[in-house]
Amino acid sequence: MIATSSLLTASASVEIGAGFALMSSPRTAVRLLLGLEPRGSSVVATRAVGLGLLSLGLACLPRGRARHRRASVPAIRALLGYNTLAAVCLSFVRASGRHRGIALMPAIVLHAAFAGLFAGRARS
């Protein structure tokens, strides 16, 4: 079984990386994920989403005393909710058939896997 602090670190690190990618290269990130080219205000919105993911990742990184189970509960709940909703949302995007970037399916699988792992922690 994966230690809770390792799971939190892995998921938070992925979100931090995704946040940086969306902020620094929004066109490339959207092209890889959705297979389309963002224009105009959608580039600004993509950067704002990147800021949100960066903030979520930083807030959920375990630190010092936060490595203890009780201190990790809010981060577990936040990442469980986010990963579950992200997997569902991206699955609907894929099912629509209109957007098929090469990173879309891996993103769905990654979010679903993190959601499943966090669901096990939320119950215990």
Q: What is the pLDDT of residues 32-88, one digit of tens each?
A: 999 999 999 999 999 999 999 999 999 999 876 545 566 688 999 999 999 999 999
Q: Mean pLDDT throughout 4-18?
A: 94
Sign of the four-CA dihedral 28, 117, 121, 93: positive
Q: What is the pLDDT of residues 77-104, one digit of tens each?
A: 999 999 999 999 999 999 998 888 999 9
What's the pLDDT at 121?
83
Strand ranges (E), 1-124: none
CA dihedral 83, 122, 116, 20 (to 10 degrees): 30
What's the pLDDT at 13?
96
CA angle (4 as vertex; 77, 13 as ends), nearest 5: 75
